[in-house]
Amino acid sequence: MSEKNYIIKVENLSKIYTMGQEKILALDNVSIGFEKGKIYCLLGTSGSGKSTLLNMIAGLERSTKGSIVFKGKHIEKMSEEGLAIFRQKYLGFVFQSYNLLPTLTALENVMLPLVFMGYKKSEREKRAFSVLKEVGLEKRIKHKPSEMSGGQQQRVSIARAFVNNPEIIFADEPTGNLDTKTTYEMMNLITSKVREHNQTLIIVTHDLEISEYADEIIYLKDGHIIKTEINENPKKEVLYTQ
């Protein structure tokens, strides 16, 4: 796999959690590469190590062993501060639980990642509004999370993930709390945006149907990659008809 031009390369990555006397091997010597502009799915049942792998690649959690080279940099060697800057600059996140700040409006939530980029307020507002419009929420910009449906909150979190134009988007079970119709809407939205801007998406799911949107499916079981599969014909837009 060395001849490919990987934007992220993971080698011999392991993670052991210690809980009292017990040691849990959540990831066992995993090696994998991710190319720019592709959609990847980490697929496996609950407890297989998907979130652990995603969190380590995204610099949210430290590994026990192994290396993660991200745009030529060893992120396992970066300081906490260095990692925080790296995340703000290059990464976008979408979580199952949306992770919006409850006291901020939709617009303010989406503006937040731009604060760290040094834009002035009027520019932050302009950019945040434009992404919220793209996700169909231009009429909800003053709503707080509690004043929106789950699907709308996830749209806000998608807008927040994309507002920086990050190179990589990480999504951990992004549709886990949504109904089937909204799930398709969200998947269409995320994947079409990623393809349009040639971004890389790494999405964690236990749902086979979601994995069909990916160019490559990485199967995890008990902390191991048991199989990787190239999907020659990934789903593009699925219209929900029921």
Nearest approach, Cβ of residue 160 and Mg ion (Å): 20
Asked if 200 contacts 194 with a C-beta cutoff of 8 angstroms, the reply is: yes
Q: Which is nearer to ligand ADP, 80 or 196 (CB)?
A: 80
Asked if 210 contacts 187 with a C-beta cutoff of 8 angstroms, the reply is: yes
d(CA 120, CA 104): 18
Token pair in block for residue 169: 């988007």
DSSP 183: H
Among 8, 27, 51, 183, binds Mg ion (CB under 5 A): 51
- Restricting to residues 46-65, which ones interact with ligand ADP according to CB under 6 A? 46-52
Q: Which is nearer to ligand ADP, 56 or 128 (CB)?
A: 56
Size of the site for Mg ion (CB under 5 A): 1
Pairing label, strands 91-95, 73-74: unpaired
Size of the site for ligand ADP (CB under 6 A): 12
Asked if 81 contacts 89 with a C-beta cutoff of 8 angstroms, the reply is: no
Residue 175 contacts ligand ADP per CB under 6 A: no
d(CA 40, CA 9): 13
d(CA 175, CA 155): 11
Residue 19 contacts ligand ADP per CB under 6 A: yes
The amino acid sitting at 18 is T
Q: Specify the stretch interacting with ligand ADP by CB under 6 A; choose among 16-24, 69-77, 131-139, 174-182.
A: 16-24
d(CA 231, CA 9): 20
Nearest approach, Cβ of residue 209 and ligand ADP (Å): 17
Residue 87 contacts ligand ADP per CB under 6 A: no
Nearest approach, Cβ of residue 8 and ligand ADP (Å): 18
Nearest approach, Cβ of residue 52 and Mg ion (Å): 8
Residues that bind ligand ADP (CB under 6 A): 17, 19, 24, 26, 44, 46-52
